[in-house]
Amino acid sequence: MLSYYFKLAWLSLRKTPLLSVLMVGTIALGIAAAMVTYTVSYMMTKDPLPAKSDRIFTVQLSAWGPQQPYKVVDGREEIPAMISYRDAQNLKTTAKAQQETAIGLFKSMSRAEQQNRRDAQMRMVRTTHNDFFSMFEVPFLYGSAWSEQDDSAGNQVVVITKALNDELFDGVNSVGHHIVLGESLLQIVGVMDDWFPIPRFYYLSSQAYHDPHDLFVPLQYQINQEIFSRSDVTWACWQDIEDVAFSDFITSDCIWLFYWVELESAKDRADYMDFINAYVDEQKSAGRFARENLSRLFTIDEYLRWAEVLSNENDMAVWLAFAFLLACLLNCMSLMMTKFYGKGSEIGLRRAVGASRHDICWQFLCEAFLIGVLGGVLGLMFAQLGLVLVQQIFSHLNASIMQMDLQIVLMTILLSIVTSVLFGLWPIYRAAQIQPSSQLKSL
Amino acid sequence: MKDFIVILKSLWRSKTSPLLLILQIAVTFTIFVNAVYMVTQKHHKVTAPSGLNESQVFSLFINLQEKELAQVAEFEQVIRDIKQLDSVANAIPVTSVPLSGFGRSVDIGYGPADEDKLTSSGYYGSNYDSLDTLELALIAGQWFEKSDVTHSFFGAPSGGKVLVSKALAQTLHPDNWRDVLGKTLYVQGEPQQVIGVIDNLKAVWSFWRLFDHAVLSPVFEVRDKVGIMVKAQSGSLEKAMLDVKERLLMTPGRQIDKLKPFSQTREESYRTDVAELQTLQLVLIGLLLLTMLAIFGQARFAILKRRKQIGTRRALGANQLQILRYYLLENLIVTLTGVVIGMVCAVLVNTQLVSYFGLMPVPADYLLVGALAILLAGQCAVIQPAWQAARVSPALATRSV
């Protein structure tokens, strides 16, 4: 019987092509608008590291100078998100966590060894420890991360992204080749596969939706080479450091590194916090850390919320889009009323030859369902079109936040069907109320 | 006009669906007028000229490797090297690049104390050649002398000369901006004599309220990292960029950063605005489509429901034109009510927007044009079903009553 109803529904849709197109189009428009905004919002707020998100933490220390707080937010003292090289070095040597890494940045002229000098380009270079790659589950296309020994010696080794490998080496295995950074030669030890953590949580929040930088070198290399791009990276000092030597700069309290630790399980958080507090006390007795101890650990999610990368403003757009969907559905409902009203005589006839109200309801439910399916499919197409447009509009952001995964595709179709059936209920109820006698008279 | 009363009566009898339509039109109108106005404002903003020759100019930043006075000589030598290239027309040192997002603002006033501050402004330090390189338009006063040009390690020393943008002059002297000429202006607390006015020079932040305010001084700054703006010979912008890069990289240890044509700087500066603009446009199109659909569906429904009534009227002697006129008029009444309510709402919403976001109030002609557009859209949507209704055969009525 159901297949017969679907056949009837299909015939009925074909009979009034204009009205059907309008109904399907209205639903599709609403679904597309809602799903485009939902997709962007969903992708932007996804957990970038689901397997470890409860046991990876960033360490923030209360290491600012005695004169004034680092920052005051809503009347409360706020501590910086970054720490000094000195503290990073102390934590790293203690090696209390399972894995841990400092993360810094500098800017340098860079080119492949075989490239001409004039083809060199200014690029940002990420400086870190080798734990970075295993902690953040960075996939490798060729080679691997550098070794423990490279880290401690600050060897001239570099890991590059797939994008840079494609640009400089046409995508072939470049491990063993060299990159020229400034005036020195670094050997490529690894080429990363596609890796776009979204949001890019491990450093400053301002570029959370940009791709990772192309070059990764050991932090100790930067220290050995005495590189610090003071006008291109974020850093802060409470002491006056005009014209100080590099060696003094790195032993100062100037902050310029993020520090991330991976613990064995989420339960170890309190333990590790005790360790940090003990470290702060130890530094206090050595005459540093003059302020009240506000040091803390943040999970990725906590950090992103604190840094306002994840905020409720994103939800606002989604609410608006769903309000738009609601308006579309109401319109579709009025179109369905028109449609079913026009079929009054048909309903009357069917009722007269024995169909119950129940049967009529089923028949029209099938029609609403069919409209939902068509609307969903068309809406999906509109949404893809919309996402392409959005990708063009926001071409400077990572495109993968503007793509649907299978889950969202299925959700789109389902949403369309459920809403169109739901909003079809009232017109269907009205249609089923039609008295056979009143209609038959006019035939 | 006797239709008018009849329409009102019949609308009054079945209130719900016309009421819903009125509501929808009102809401659409409110959003529509405000959004269109925001779109045009944004459009004006992103297409406004920057005051300099956008097609021929590019900028870059380089590191200076010497210290103290040798650093000044190194910088001057770099500028000379660039100017000697065949593809380059002129080159200047700059403290920052307009619209680039990186730069400084200075306090402006007619006295040295904090309370003398009148406004703020963007600040650029360059040299004599900036007139030719950026192709600025000097509209009053005179340009610097070559002897005015000097260097510093930060800011401009007191007692120098400056040029100001016309917008800044207008802020200081709303009645007659030419009054600014010859005045001693305190720029970040240092007295400077205003010798000329530039028609148009922007600050570095396109989102800044005082984006149009700029001060230009003949003092170029020498630091570890310095900016350069270059004017290429016409038609050879790309070649000039490559040439400059190749020439500069002949020096070991030289770093070149942010080498890009000014058109790109401009594009990046307005990126969020352009994104907002395009998103708004998409929303507008969606909304308009939806309202059209709603009017269309509603009108169709109303007519379908009244087929018999129409038949009766036809049988009683109404001609097709009268029927058509009836439904067009009915739609006009409904849409007009929606638009009037929408106008009130639009003005209310707009005053809120003005007080919260500092937007400009919507001019009256936007309301009028918006109203006309929606009325027209309503009539277009209703013509087809109304025409169909007019063609209903009178026989229909006689059969079923």
User: What is chain A's pLDDT, residue by residue, as a tens digit (443 residues)?
Assistant: 788 888 888 888 888 888 888 889 989 999 998 898 888 888 888 888 988 989 999 999 998 988 888 988 888 889 999 999 999 999 999 999 999 999 999 999 999 999 988 888 999 999 999 999 999 999 999 999 999 999 999 999 999 999 999 999 999 999 999 999 988 999 999 999 999 888 899 998 888 888 899 999 999 999 999 999 888 888 999 888 777 888 888 888 999 999 999 999 999 999 999 999 999 999 999 988 888 899 999 999 999 989 888 766 667 778 878 888 888 888 888 888 878 877 877 888 888 888 888 888 888 899 999 999 999 999 999 999 989 988 888 877 777 778 888 888 999 999 999 999 998 898 888 888 877 776 666 55
Residue-wise pLDDT tens digits, B114-136:
888 899 999 999 999 999 999 99
At residue B380's C-alpha, the angle toward residues B377 and B384, to 5°, is 150
Rounded Cα–Cα distance for residues A48 and A304 (Å): 11
* Parallel/antiparallel/unpaired status of strands B190-198 and B160-165: parallel
Count of CB atoms situated within 10 Å of the CB of A49: 18
Count of CB atoms situated within 10 Å of the CB of A297: 18
DSSP B149: -
User: What DSSP line would sit under B261-301, residue for residue?
Assistant: EHHHHHHHHTHHHHHHHHHHHHHHHHHHHHHHHHHHHHHHH
Q: Rounded to an integer, what is the distance from CA B257 to the centroid of its chain?
A: 29
Distance of residue B185 Cα from the nearest chain A Cα, in angstroms: 30
Spell out which residues of chain B touch residue A22, defining contact as CB-CB under 8 Å: 293, 296-297
Sign of CA dihedral A299, A300, A301, A302: positive
Q: Which residues of chain B approach chain A closer than 8 Å at the C-beta?
A: 17, 20, 24, 224-225, 242, 245-246, 249-250, 252-259, 268, 271, 274-275, 278-279, 282, 286-287, 289-290, 293-294, 296-298, 300-301, 304-305, 399-400
Spell out which residues of chain B touch residue A394, defining contact as CB-CB under 8 Å: 275
Q: Which amino acid is at B302?
A: A
Residue B176: strand, helix, or coil: coil
User: Quick check: B282 and A118 CB within 8 A?
Assistant: no
**Residue B339: C-alpha distances to residues A226, A326, B4, B192, B268 (Å):** 68, 22, 18, 56, 39
Spell out which residues of chain A touch residue B309, defining contact as CB-CB under 8 Å: none
Residue A296: strand, helix, or coil: strand
Asked whether residue B216 carries a pLDDT value surpassing 60, the answer given is yes
Q: What is the pLDDT of residue B400?
A: 53
Residue B191: strand, helix, or coil: strand
Q: Which of A12, A65, A31, A6 is nearest to A326 (CA)?
A: A31
**Residue B297: C-alpha distances to residues A332, B19, B243 (Å):** 8, 14, 64
Find out whether B177 and B169 touch, Cβ atoms under 8 Å: yes
User: What DSSP line would sit under B52-99, residue for residue?
Assistant: S-TTTEEEEEEE--S-HHHHHHHHHHHHHHHHHSTTEEEEEEESS-TT
Interface test with B, best of A117, A123, A331 (most B CBs within 10 A): A331
Find out whether A264 and A98 touch, Cβ atoms under 8 Å: yes
Asked whether residue B401 carries a pLDDT value surpassing 60, the answer given is no
Q: Which amino acid is at A400?
A: S
Q: Give the nearest chain B residue to A107 (CA atoms).
A: B257
Rounded Cα–Cα distance for residues B312 and B301 (Å): 18
Find out whether A77 and A70 touch, Cβ atoms under 8 Å: yes
For the entire predicted model, the pTM comes to: 0.79
User: Quick check: A29 and B289 CB within 8 A?
Assistant: yes
User: Quick check: B399 and A442 CB within 8 A?
Assistant: yes
Distance of residue A182 Cα from the nearest chain B Cα, in angstroms: 6
User: Quick check: A334 and B278 CB within 8 A?
Assistant: no
Q: Which amino acid is at B91?
A: A
Distance of residue A40 Cα from the nearest chain B Cα, in angstroms: 13
Rounded Cα–Cα distance for residues A391 and A404 (Å): 12
Q: Give the nearest chain A residue to B255 (CA atoms).
A: A109
Q: What is the pLDDT of residue A312?
A: 63
Supply the ipTM of this predicted assembly. Answer: 0.74
Q: Give the nearest chain A residue to B23 (CA atoms).
A: A327
User: Quick check: B400 and A25 CB within 8 A?
Assistant: no
Rounded Cα–Cα distance for residues B41 and B353 (Å): 14
- Token digits of residue B175: 């009645």
Interface test with B, best of A106, A110, A334 (most B CBs within 10 A): A334
Spell out which residues of chain A touch residue B256, defining contact as CB-CB under 8 Å: 109, 120, 122
Separation of first and last alpha carbons in chain B: 28
User: Quick check: B400 and A393 CB within 8 A?
Assistant: no
Residue-wise pLDDT tens digits, B246-264:
999 998 888 899 999 999 9
Rounded Cα–Cα distance for residues B94 and B396 (Å): 83
User: Quick check: B20 and A327 CB within 8 A?
Assistant: no
Residue-wise pLDDT tens digits, B284-312:
888 777 877 777 777 777 777 777 778 88
How would residue B156 be classed by pLDDT, with cut points 50, 70 and 90? confident
At residue A133's C-alpha, the angle toward residues A130 and A139, to 5°, is 145
- Provide CB contacts within 8 A for B242, sequence distance 6+: A118
Spell out which residues of chain B touch residue A341, defining contact as CB-CB under 8 Å: 301, 304-305
- Token digits of residue A285: 């007795």
User: Quick check: A109 and B256 CB within 8 A?
Assistant: yes
**Burial label, A344 (beta-carbon count in 10 A; 0-12, 13-18, 19+):** middle
Q: Of A334, A393, A441, which is closest to B298 when you measure between CB atoms? A: A334
In 3-state terms, chain B is what percent helix, strand and coil (to 5)?
55, 20, 25
User: Quick check: B255 and A109 CB within 8 A?
Assistant: yes
**Neighbouring C-alpha atoms within 13 Å toward the C-beta of A75:** 0
User: Quick check: B286 and A338 CB within 8 A?
Assistant: no
> Phi, psi at residue B148, to the nearest 5°?
-75, -20
Q: What is the pLDDT of residue A313?
A: 61
User: Quick check: B249 and A341 CB within 8 A?
Assistant: no
The mean pLDDT value of chain B amounts to: 86
Q: Of B275, B298, B400, which is closest to A394 when you measure between CB atoms? A: B275
Q: Which of A200, A125, A132, A182 is nearest to A158 (CA)?
A: A125
Torsion of CA B204, B205, B209, B211, to 10 degrees: 30
Find out whether B222 and B72 touch, Cβ atoms under 8 Å: yes
- Token digits of residue B47: 């297409």
User: Quick check: A183 and B252 CB within 8 A?
Assistant: yes
- For residue A69, is the peptide bond before it cis, meaning its omega torsion is within 30 degrees of 0? no
Residue that is written with structure tokens 């570029």 in the block: A207
CB pairs < 8 Å spanning A and B: 82
- Token digits of residue B94: 């700059």
Rounded Cα–Cα distance for residues B76 and A142 (Å): 46
